[in-house]
Amino acid sequence: MPHFVEDPLYLSKSRLKSDLVAHDVALPPARSNKEVYVKLHKKHIDQKTDADFSSDEEDRVQDVAEEDPELPDPRNLTDDGLKAALLKHGVKAGPIVASTRALYERKLSQLLQSDGHDRPNGAEKAVLYSDSEGEEEDGQEDDADSDSEAKEETMEEQPQQASSQVDLNFQNGDLHYPQCFLPSSRLVVCASRNREPDGNSGNALKSSERSQPRCSQIPVGISKASSVGQCSRLASGVPSGSQSVKANDCSSFSSQTFSITQMVEEMESRRSPSITTNAERDLNGGNVKERCSWSDWPDIHVVDTYTLKNQSLYYTPKASPHKLRKKELVKDTLKDLFPDTQTTSTGIYATRRRPIKGAAGRPVQYVYPDSPASPSTLERREVERRLVPIHIQILVFIILTCLLYLIYVCVEDNSLSPFVALLQSLSQGSEDEHGLLLQDKTQDTPALSAQQ
Amino acid sequence: MSSTSQKHKEFVAEPMGEKPVMALAGIGEVLGKRLEEKGFDKAYVVLGQFLVLKKDEELFRDWLKDTCGANVKQQGDCYGCLKEWCDAFL
């Protein structure tokens, strides 16, 4: 420490120890006092600095020149500072004590030097150019990636938007069902006109009759609405506030002309591209809704009954966008399921049902391979192979019974006389032997009696 | 290499107790003398250094080289012996 002279007396024991180690001074025994350390410190280090001051200073200067000026000399660092510096270089240092400090100091200086060698242009420049450039490139790449991702997202979002539109439509439909009860003029006219030629039932006629007088009134509303400045198509479809007012003015009849075609038409109009009008309409719809809820509720019930009656009359198969959307969605799933089917104009798919395996006389398309037989079945088969078939068994049994019967019959008839004769002769022979034995016994007994 | 040496086996076989530093594998008379001069008179003192360096091979080898001027083989023997002892008894 050439810059500030430290009295070794004020240094801690561990610091003294580490200094001694750093100066390659042999440490005293572990139990020695601080005084010993101080003595050693004075003896070796201070002498060195005093004696070789110039050279030591030069060495220090060289060392400092070698290292980056910003980076502190590891020997001046505290234990914690040294540890932190090591951690900065990715080295997880253990406890920095007297015996380990020198090692860690050297390690840190090595790391610093290696860093310096790694960056021949200097740390600052390296920071300025190489590393940060890479980061910038990375950032640009990230940007590009994010751009492309954003594009992809937009691409992906389009169907999502469509679906969300569908959802919106759903929501709108849900929200503005009351709105549907208010007549849109064109629809009413169309409906009534459509109805008139058909003229099926009295109810239909009645409804058309009822709608007709309103037809005269509602165009006024339309004209007002269009004068307000809504888009023509939308305006025609949309019951604007004025129109709804008009409708309300028309009293309870206004909502009687509700029909599904109106709903369809309104949905179409709602689907139209301009968002502002959508919003406007939403607002109007909200107003209308409120009005409906306030004034027309009882009428709506009436309308419901009417519409229930006249549904078939008013229903026109003009596809609602809502339904179209639905169909498209269904189409997509169907296409996924059956990619090879052809699209038809009706949008209805006739797909061959997949054949059920072996059912209903259909040819079995897939036969399971013969599974390897279990050892027990193999054994059984072996046994069966050895056994004589049943019909042969029966045949043998019959033959045997026949043979036995024949033998029985023969025996009954004494036709087998030689056998019988032989048997008789045998029996006679045995009887003769019996007789001889009896004679012997009789001969013995008199002898015994004579002895007695 | 180190695991085959008799010294290593003997050191790893039992708790080191109060064994001198020369009982360590790779530490002969010369190195043991140097270590004793530096205060590392018992094997457990070297073990303490080994442990305080967190069993780091590189640091321990450096330390051993600095303290007693052990060559690479001696460093390796000493490190392996202490490591195995720690695995067995710590």
Report chain A residues touching chain B, CB-CB < 8 A: 26-30, 94-95, 97, 99-100, 102-104, 106-107
- Cβ atoms within 10 Å, residue A440: 9
**pTM for the complete prediction?**
0.30
Helix pair A260-271, A185-198: axis angle to 10 deg: 140
The DSSP output letter for A353 is: P
Q: Quote the CA–CA distance of B3 and A204 in Å, as a whole number.
A: 106
Each residue's pLDDT, cut to its tens digit, for chain B (90 residues) gives 444 789 999 999 999 899 999 999 999 999 999 999 989 999 999 999 999 999 999 999 999 998 899 999 999 999 999 999 999 998
State chain A's mean pLDDT as an integer: 56
Confidence of residue A356 (pLDDT cuts 50, 70, 90): low
pLDDT number for residue A110 = 86
Share of chain A above pLDDT 70, in %: 21
Backbone angles phi, psi at A183, to 5 degrees: -80, 135
Summarize pLDDT for A243-261 with one digit per residue, the tens: 443 434 444 444 444 556 6
ipTM: 0.78
Best residue in B56, B57, B64 for a mutation probing chain A (most A CBs within 10 Å): B56
Could you tell me which chain B residue has the CA closest to the CA of A100?
B53
Share of chain A above pLDDT 90, in %: 4
pLDDT number for residue B31 = 92
Contact status, residue A180 vs residue A266, Cβ threshold 8 Å: yes
Q: Quote the CA–CA distance of B81 and B66 in Å, as a whole number.
A: 19
Helix (H, G, I), strand (E, B) or coil at B40: coil
State which amino acid sits at residue A413: D
Summarize pLDDT for A277-333 with one digit per residue, the tens: 444 444 444 444 444 444 444 444 444 444 444 444 444 444 444 444 444 454 455
State which amino acid sits at residue A1: M
Is B53–A100 a contact, with Cβ atoms under 8 angstroms apart? yes
Contacts of A223 (CB under 8 A, 6+ apart): none
Summarize pLDDT for A82-117 with one digit per residue, the tens: 888 888 888 887 788 888 888 888 888 888 888 766
Domains of chain B and CATH, by start: 6-89 (1.10.150.40)
Contacts of A49 (CB under 8 A, 6+ apart): A2, A56
Reading the block at residue A303, the tokens are: 């309308």
Name which of A30-44, A66-80, A279-293 the model is least confident about. Answer: A279-293
Domains of chain A and CATH, by start: 8-49 (no CATH), 73-113 (1.10.720)
Is B59–A30 a contact, with Cβ atoms under 8 angstroms apart? no
Instruction: Sort out which chain B residues have CB atoms less than 8 A from A104's CB and list them.
Output: 59
Is B39–A103 a contact, with Cβ atoms under 8 angstroms apart? no
Is A100–B52 a contact, with Cβ atoms under 8 angstroms apart? yes
Of A30, A99, A107, the CB nearest to B52: A99
Summarize pLDDT for A366-394 with one digit per residue, the tens: 656 666 667 777 777 777 777 778 899 99
Instruction: Sort out which chain B residues have CB atoms less than 8 A from A86's CB and list them.
Output: none
Best residue in B47, B67, B68 for a mutation probing chain A (most A CBs within 10 Å): B67
